[in-house]
Amino acid sequence: MWPWIWIALGGALGGVGRYWLNGIVSARFETFPAGTLVVNVVGSFVIGFLAALAQPEGPLSARGRVIVTEFFMIGLCGGFTTFSSFSLQTLNLLRDGEWFYAASNVVLSVLGCLLATWLGYLAGSALLTIKGR
């Protein structure tokens, strides 16, 4: 029962965090869905960082790895990142004839999130190295 509770709680907090950050960023842009892009890149960094910490050889206990995986990675990051929103916004841009913005959104989101995940993983791995693990 606890995994369901951790995932649900993390998902709820992630959704609220997404709403907050997306609102702040989107207030500064009219056409381009920058809020969704920023949320997805930040979430990708966080999940990469946590994945490095949750490795079997990482600093967490077995129970700690379960909590990080369930609450943070599946729940919080799952509720925070917005791939479905990204897809709908890209479709709407295409439907509105905004081909450049649609293509930019796809390229920047995919490359930005992959880069952020990799950087997050490197940051988590570096932390492990500093801690001597």
- pLDDT by residue (tens digit) across 17-31? 999 999 999 999 988
Distance of alpha carbon 87 from alpha carbon 100, whole angstroms: 15
pTM for the whole thing? Answer: 0.85
- H-run or E-run covering 106: helix 99-130
Q: What is the pLDDT, as a whole number, of residue 93?
A: 96
Task: Please give the structure tokens belonging to residue 19.
Answer: 């709403």
Q: Which domain holds residue 32?
A: 2-130
* Contact call for residues 86 and 40 (beta carbons, < 8 A): yes
What is the total count of domains within the chain? 1
**Mean pLDDT of each 10-residue bin along the chain, 133 residues long:** 94 97 94 94 94 90 94 95 87 96 96 96 91 70
Q: What is the pLDDT, as a whole number, of residue 133?
A: 63
What percent of the chain has a predicted confidence (pLDDT) above 90? 83
Distance of alpha carbon 72 from alpha carbon 4, whole angstroms: 13
Per-residue model confidence as pLDDT tens digits over 34-55: 999 999 999 999 999 999 999 8
At residue 1, the 3 state secondary structure works out as: coil
Q: What is the pLDDT, as a whole number, of residue 63?
A: 93
